[in-house]
Amino acid sequence: MTRAPHDYDDIPGTFVFDAERSREGYHLNMFCMSLMKAENRKAFKEDEAKYLDRFPLTPEQRDAVLNRQYNKILELGGNIYFASKLGATDGHSFQHLAAVMTGSTQEDYAKMMLAGGRSIEGNRSKSGGSRRSKRSKSGKKRG
Amino acid sequence: MARIIAGVSSSHVPAIGAAIDLGKTEEPYWKRVFSGFEKSKEWMAKTKPDVAIVVYNDHASAFSVEMIPTFALGCAAEFPPADEGWGPRPVPVVKGHPRLASHIAQSVILDEFDLTIANKMEVDHGLTVPMNLLFGQPKEWPCPVIPLAVNVVMYPPPTGHRCFMLGKAIRKAVESYPEDLKVVIFGTGGMSHQISGPRAGLINSKFDKAFLDNLSRDPKKLIRIPHIQYMREAGAEGIEMVMWLIMRGALDEKVDEVYRFYTVPASNTAVGHIILENKRRAAGKAKKTPAHGGKR
């Protein structure tokens, strides 16, 4: 199904959790929410596929969960605060998830953050530099 | 009557809470963050508010996707810390102020802000981390708290203008409450950060510093910032900064900036913090701490 176009589609590397994704991802997020309970975490770890049968996920959502494809989870309607509960169930920190989503190692990601984070320069717009704001022109490249 | 005497803004990074709970505050990485709040804790101890209104957001703790209220005002007598997957944070139960809270609810609803009333609600790090940063780690929180949960998780959050106007309505409500109470209002979340997707790790210190400058001196410049600009410039989750505008709307047009602190990073996030006082303070109350004690 095609999503309606939005101004924020132009932001690179970003899946905005909007009302449409919230609707599509309802069961996906409710699955993640269920992992707040220890008994559910245990049941999920024992048999992930069987546990997922409790939730009417789409086949794509189900695969994304089983394969821990976090960007795909976000694209298919998962929200990061919910998805992080899946990460926590695996024993991963938030920073680990962030590194995974950026295709980096946690060590490299942590180094980038210590050096001031990912620069806004070159990361504003998919369509190019025409949207640079005036006050950011002198921003130096970081990370 | 009750009065709002000051506003405080602070980031709420969960890792800050974990650093407190695991006793890591003296480690160099975290000391850099916590040292920025030493003067703030002194200021808070001298200011001794009777009530704190804390504008914050829930992170899939009290609210799942089953219900997503844009503004939910906590009117309960107490708000237990939520279990965010690692057990509830070892912080005191947050005591509410149901009488003032329900007074505010009634007043702002009649002022056309259609609040949700939360008579039972758990609170997560979004609320308790800023409280730790300003109040330390007491056995009991030193004052009752009225939580105002704002949806910034599902797009779209309320606009900056709407938030600012709600702040004004809250101020009006507080000032129509008969009891003499000193109220401090918190705006929390931010500053620039993105924790989702391939662009995660984004920080924009220039945007943040300009935001702090305008918050202090010229908030009207901030209230029309469209959501796309927050998300593009300050990261998908940087949009939390609209919550700071509720705090700012509840203050005078001209305020005294008492303190400011900014550092990068805490985990994935730029940490920003500011204390603004209304000029009309009752005589004989707490003296101001030196301005700009923190790194700018």
Query: What is the spatial distance between Cα A10 and Cα B293, in angstroms, rounded to a whole number?
Result: 39
Digit-coded pLDDT (tens) for B79-97: 999 988 778 999 999 999 9
A91 touches chain B (CB under 8 A): no
**Is residue B123 a contact partner of residue B55, using CB atoms and an 8 Å limit?**
no
| Chain A nearest CA to B193, separation (Å) | 9
DSSP B252-285: -SSEEEEEEEEEEEETTEEEEEEEEEES---TTS
Residue of A nearest to B85 (CA): A36
A 35-64 residues inside an 8 A Cβ radius of B: 35-36
Interchain CB distance below 8 Å, B267 and A94:
yes
Residue range of the domain that includes A64: 19-90
Digit-coded pLDDT (tens) for B34-59: 999 999 999 999 999 999 999 999 99
Instruction: From the candidates B59, B193, B273, B292, give the one annotated as an active-site residue.
Output: B193
Question: Would residue B125 show up in a list of annotated catalytic residues for this protein?
Answer: yes
- Taking the CA atoms of residue B211, residue B216, residue B220 and residue B222 in that order, the dihedral angle to the nearest 10 degrees is 10
A 121-140 residues inside an 8 A Cβ radius of B: 123-125, 131, 133, 135-136, 139
Q: Which residues does A37 contact at the CB level (< 8 Å), separation at least 6?
A: none
Query: What is the spatial distance between Cα B79 and Cα B92, in angstroms, rounded to a whole number?
Result: 10
Digit-coded pLDDT (tens) for B131-156: 999 999 999 999 999 999 999 999 99
Exposure string (b/e) for B224-245, b if CB count within 10 Å is 16 or more? ebebbbbbbbbbbbbbbbbbbb
**Confidence label for A128 from pLDDT (cuts 50, 70 and 90):** confident
Confirm whether A132 is domain-assigned.
Answer: no
Digit-coded pLDDT (tens) for A44-71: 999 999 999 999 999 999 999 999 999 9
Residue B280: per-residue pLDDT: 64
Whether residue A143 is predicted with pLDDT greater than 60 in this model: the reply is no
Kindly provide the ipTM of the predicted complex, given to two decimals: 0.90
Apex B55 CA angle, B50 and B58, nearest 5: 125
Question: Chain A residues with CB inside 8 Å of B203's CB?
Answer: 113, 116-120
Instruction: From the candidates B125, B227, B273, B292, give the one annotated as an active-site residue.
Output: B125
Residue B85: per-residue pLDDT: 77
Phi, psi of B75, rounded to the nearest 5 degrees: -110, 10
Pick the closest to residue B121 from B164, B171, B62 (CA basis): B62
Confirm whether A143 is domain-assigned.
Answer: no
Count other Cβ atoms within 10 Å, centred on residue B278. 18
Confirm whether A37 is domain-assigned.
Answer: yes
Confirm whether A25 is domain-assigned.
Answer: yes
B273 vs A1, more confident: B273
Confirm whether A45 is domain-assigned.
Answer: yes
Confirm whether A66 is domain-assigned.
Answer: yes
**Confidence label for B279 from pLDDT (cuts 50, 70 and 90):** confident
CA distances from residue B282 to B47, B276, B285, B287 in whole angstroms, order as listed: 11, 16, 6, 11
Residue A133: per-residue pLDDT: 44
Interchain CB distance below 8 Å, A18 and B154:
yes
The pTM is what?
Answer: 0.92
| Chain A nearest CA to B263, separation (Å) | 9
Residue A49 carries which side chain, given as an amino acid letter?
A
DSSP B13-45: -HHHHHHHHTT-TTSHHHHHHHGGGHHHHHHHH
Question: Chain B residues with CB inside 8 Å of A74's CB?
Answer: 196-197
Tally the domains of chain A.
1
Question: Would residue B227 show up in a list of annotated catalytic residues for this protein?
Answer: no
What CATH number is attached to the domain comprising A49? 1.10.700.10
Decide: residue B22, CB within 10 A, 0-12 exposed, 13-18 middle, 19+ buried: exposed
- Looking at chain B, the whole-number percentage of residues with pLDDT higher than 90 is 92
Which single residue is written with the structure tokens 């939520």? B82
Confirm whether A74 is domain-assigned.
Answer: yes
Query: What is the spatial distance between Cα B65 and Cα B82, in angstroms, rounded to a whole number?
Result: 16
Whether residue B294 is predicted with pLDDT greater than 90 in this model: the reply is no
Q: Which residues does B170 contact at the CB level (< 8 Å), separation at least 6?
A: B4, B53, B104, B108, B148, B185, B246, B249, B250
Query: What is the spatial distance between Cα B4 and Cα B2, in angstroms, rounded to a whole number?
Result: 7
Whether residue B172 is predicted with pLDDT greater than 60 in this model: the reply is yes
**Is residue A125 a contact partner of residue A12, using CB atoms and an 8 Å limit?**
yes
Confirm whether A122 is domain-assigned.
Answer: no
CB contacts < 8 Å between A and B, how many?
A: 153
Count other Cβ atoms within 10 Å, centred on residue B218. 10
Decide: residue B197, CB within 10 A, 0-12 exposed, 13-18 middle, 19+ buried: buried
Tokens of B15: 């890792």
